[in-house]
């Protein structure tokens, strides 16, 4: 999965013709950020709407991808100046010496296993516990990322063998149909897809909070080349992102409204969503926990240098 990351390292060093340079007075930096069209990234959309980026001379364009592992190569190549990715994908990239660096927190678990923003959903009433996923197919939005790592840990904690679980890569919007058709026996979805699945009468049997109450699920990041060539832009983006996170944490109604600007989720559904936490501080202990789990479940042979990833 991350071969592409390494292959793009060389091109990242060169940048590309569209990469922004230090802004001139009166002319904002044109910045592209890669995100996923899920609840997790509502703060950056809300922050753009509230002017947190424009007041720092950043004209922000948001482009969507299926997962963080697809966004990382685009950040390295200079197609995007910043990106959003789950922590496990970033740790895997760092283990292959990809020149990436986190610049701001992304999203965290609610801490409540029974009311989290991401979890395992099943349709079959006979499946009542994570252990029963042995021998079953579970959908993840990308292989070797935080979703399948979380599922494995939840299954193991329930006394099951995570190696006996099969994973199928599907985009979040496609998962419910595949579960309904019986092509997979469980899906791990985040909001707004989690609420939509539960509205069908399906049940959750595990969540991010079961992995760690303070689980840091994702981060915003950039390339080392961007940091070296335009540190002032990185500083301004980070400040705007931190303001966006803080604002989102204290304005849940505006978060729900913002979600309607980049998804097709109806207002009625948005009202019932379980919102995650959006602290501006990165929880280093939670990052270390995921790094350890990546080794435990064979994604990595040895623990990567967490400090080299964090700001």
Q: pTM of the predicted model, to two decimals?
A: 0.86
Q: Domains in the chain, ordered, with CATH? A: 3-109+214-309 (3.40.190.10), 118-211 (3.40.190.10)
Q: Return the pLDDT at 265.
A: 83
Helices (DSSP H) in the chain: which residue ranges?
Answer: 3-7, 9-14, 42-50, 68-77, 87-95, 146-157, 172-180, 193-198, 208-211, 224-229, 231-250, 252-262, 267-272, 284-296, 306-309
Q: Return the pLDDT at 192.
A: 84
Tens digit of each residue's pLDDT (9 = 90 or more) over 65-114: 876 678 999 999 999 999 999 999 899 999 999 999 999 999 999 999 99
Q: Return the pLDDT at 175.
A: 97
Strands 166-169 and 186-190 come out as: unpaired
What CA–CA distance (Å, rounded) separates 34 from 84?
A: 6
Tens digit of each residue's pLDDT (9 = 90 or more) over 281-294: 999 999 999 999 99
Q: CB–CB of 279/242 below 8 Å?
A: no
26: pLDDT confidence band, cut at 50, 70 and 90? low
Per mean pLDDT, which of 5-14, 82-91, 123-132 is the most reliable?
Answer: 123-132
């Amino acid at each position: 999965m991350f071969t592409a990351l390494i292959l793009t390292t060389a091109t990242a060093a060169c940048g590309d013709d569209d990469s922004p340079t230090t802004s001139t007075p009166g002319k904002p930096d044109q910045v592209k950020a890669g995100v996923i069209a899920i609840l997790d990234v509502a703060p950056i959309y809300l922050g753009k709407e509230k002017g947190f980026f424009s007041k720092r001379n950043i004209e922000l364009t948001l482009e969507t991808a299926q997962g963080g592992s697809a966004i990382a190569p685009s950040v390295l190549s200079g197609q995007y100046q910043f990106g959003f990715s789950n922590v496990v994908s970033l740790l895997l990239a760092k283990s292959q010496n990809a020149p990436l660096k986190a610049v701001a927190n992304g999203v965290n678990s609610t801490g409540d296993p029974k009311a989290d923003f991401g979890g395992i959903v099943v349709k079959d009433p006979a499946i009542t516990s994570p252990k029963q996923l042995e021998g079953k197919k579970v959908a993840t939005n990308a292989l070797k990322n935080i979703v399948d790592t979380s599922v494995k840990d939840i299954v193991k904690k329930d006394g099951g063998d995570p190696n006996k679980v099969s994973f199928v890569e599907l985009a979040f919007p496609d998962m419910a149909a595949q579960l309904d058709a019986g092509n997979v026996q469980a899906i791990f979805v985040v909001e707004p897809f989690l609420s939509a699945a539960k509205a069908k009468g399906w049940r959750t049997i595990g969540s991010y909070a079961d992995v760690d109450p303070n689980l840091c699920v994702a981060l915003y990041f950039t390339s080392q080349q961007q940091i070296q060539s335009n540190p002032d832009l990185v500083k301004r983006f980070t400040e705007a992102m931190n303001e966006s996170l803080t604002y989102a944490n204290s304005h849940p109604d505006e978060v729900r409204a913002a979600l309607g600007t980049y998804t097709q989720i109806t207002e009625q559904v948005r009202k019932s969503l379980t919102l995650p936490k959006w602290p501006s501080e990165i929880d280093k202990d939670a990052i270390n926990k995921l790094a350890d789990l990546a080794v435990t479940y064979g994604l990595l042979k040895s623990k990567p240098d967490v400090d080299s990833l964090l700001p």
